């Protein structure tokens, strides 16, 4: 029997069990009869090892910046050379096609961007298909990396409400945090990293805080120095609650159901799983205005800021809007069945 799709798929790199995005996609693919394998992580040579271990028909790459960027320029140089060798091995020796989901056009830390663009472009131009999340990013990729538009597909993620429980009421969530039903709660949820602009969020909250307002910051932080800076900024406010650590799967709903609005004060972003997650919990979102977020959050564009100075006014405006109505519209958008087009990526040409 001749299949129309590649049946044996290798997923790289392993995002780990704490990232439901990749595991939901794997579950979806397996439910459609695909044989899916996940390559293990190694400092160098993880692609070569996984390919020879599993002998896939096609490789799906998620984030490849980890193959290119290290803590020093020398380590980045070594990693990038290994990456080029491994991609060349796939193209010229094994002749295995590979596809890629482009989450961001550059690494979040902004390290060695000119260098990264050369090697990332080398990789992208050898992909059979590339998946992005918006027309804005698609056009940027075409221009920046000289990719054919016909090789790029706009496909959304599987909605997070297919993964996370949501059977706890707002009343129960507020009791869980000892917050009254009359209080107004801003929530940041996600890994705590510098590019996410949390210092701007804390300062903005202090500037607009009213009686009964709370700011919840929940997520894991591996940069202890940065976390210490945030703790110092929050010092003196009893209404800023910081949860440093991984939030268990069954606890996520408590954080979103206690919130009136989600605030993601990014300084740069192409795509964010945190935005998708907030939409899956039917929440309004205050975040950075980009071409992508303007397309995705068109119904509530007045909650998008262009620079950190506008964050205060967006947070103050959140008190005056119908948060339930906006949340419902955001849920309708994220509940789109377009994720089923993921199967197109694995179709034989």
Task: Write down the pLDDT at residue 16.
Answer: 78
Task: Write down the pLDDT at residue 292.
Answer: 87
Q: What letter does residue 89 receive in the DSSP assignment? A: I
Query: What is the dotted CATH code of the domain comprising 162-334?
Result: 3.40.50.2000
> Structure pTM?
0.89
Number of Cβ within a 10 Å radius of residue 167: 8
Among candidate residues 88, 102, 164, 91, the one with its CA nearest the CA of residue 131: 102
Task: Write down the pLDDT at residue 111.
Answer: 80
Q: Decide which of 3.40.50.2000, 3.40.640.10, 2.40.37.10, 3.40.30.10 is the CATH code for 8-154.
A: 3.40.50.2000
DSSP H stretches of helix in the chain: 20-31, 46-54, 65-68, 73-88, 113-124, 135-145, 170-177, 198-208, 224-234, 252-258, 273-280, 291-296, 311-317, 323-334, 342-345
Domain assignments of the chain as residue spans, ordered by start: 8-154, 162-334
Q: Distance (Å, rounded) from C-alpha 134 to C-alpha 270?
A: 9
Task: Write down the pLDDT at residue 2.
Answer: 53
Task: Write down the pLDDT at residue 1.
Answer: 39
Give the full edge-to-edge strand order of the sheet including 213-219.
Answer: 240-244, 213-219, 184-189, 261-264, 285-288, 304-305
Decide if 8-154 and 162-334 have a common fold.
yes
Per-residue pLDDT of the chain (349 residues; tens, 9 = 90+): 356 889 999 999 998 766 788 888 999 999 999 999 999 888 899 999 999 999 999 999 998 988 998 888 899 999 999 999 999 999 999 999 999 999 988 877 778 778 889 999 999 999 999 999 989 999 999 999 999 999 999 998 888 888 898 999 999 999 999 999 999 999 999 999 988 999 999 999 999 999 999 999 999 998 999 999 999 999 888 899 999 999 999 999 999 999 999 999 998 887 888 999 999 999 999 999 998 899 889 899 999 999 999 999 999 999 999 999 999 999 999 988 778 899 999 998 7
Q: Phi first, then psi: give them for residue 233, nearest 5 degrees.
A: -65, -35
């Amino acid at each position: 029997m001749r299949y129309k799709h590649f049946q044996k798929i290798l997923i790289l790199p392993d995002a780990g069990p704490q990232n439901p995005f990749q595991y939901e996609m794997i579950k979806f693919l397996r439910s459609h009869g695909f044989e899916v394998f996940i390559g293990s992580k190694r400092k160098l040579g993880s692609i070569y090892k996984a390919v020879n271990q599993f002998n896939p028909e096609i490789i799906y790459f998620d984030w490849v910046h980890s193959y290119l960027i290290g803590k020093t320029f020398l380590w980045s140089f070594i990693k990038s050379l290994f990456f080029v060798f491994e991609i060349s091995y796939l193209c010229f020796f094994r002749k295995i096609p590979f596809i890629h989901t482009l989450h961001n056009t550059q690494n979040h830390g902004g390290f060695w961007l000119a260098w990264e663009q050369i090697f990332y472009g080398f990789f992208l131009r050898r992909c059979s298909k590339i998946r992005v999340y918006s027309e804005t990013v698609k056009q940027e990729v075409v221009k920046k990396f000289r990719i054919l538009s016909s090789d790029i597909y706009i496909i959304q993620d599987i909605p997070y409400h297919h993964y996370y429980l949501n059977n706890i009421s707002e009343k129960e969530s507020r009791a869980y945090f000892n917050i009254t039903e009359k209080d107004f709660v801003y929530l940041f949820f996600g890994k705590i990293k510098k590019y996410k602009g949390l210092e701007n969020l804390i300062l903005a909250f202090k500037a607009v805080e009213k009686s009964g307002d709370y700011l919840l910051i929940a997520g894991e932080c591996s940069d202890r120095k940065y976390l210490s800076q945030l703790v110092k900024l929050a010092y003196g406010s009893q209404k800023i609650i910081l949860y440093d650590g991984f939030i268990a799967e069954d606890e996520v709903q408590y954080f979103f159901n206690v919130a009136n609005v989600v605030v993601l004060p990014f300084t740069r972003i192409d795509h964010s799983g945190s935005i998708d997650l907030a939409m899956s919990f039917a929440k309004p979102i205050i975040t950075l205005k980009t071409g992508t977020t303007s397309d995705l959050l068109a119904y509530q564009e007045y909650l998008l800021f262009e620079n950190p100075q506008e964050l205060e006014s967006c947070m103050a405006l959140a008190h005056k809007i119908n948060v339930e109505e906006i949340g419902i519209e955001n849920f309708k958008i994220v509940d789109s069945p377009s994720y089923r087009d993921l199967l197109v990526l694995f179709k034989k040409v």
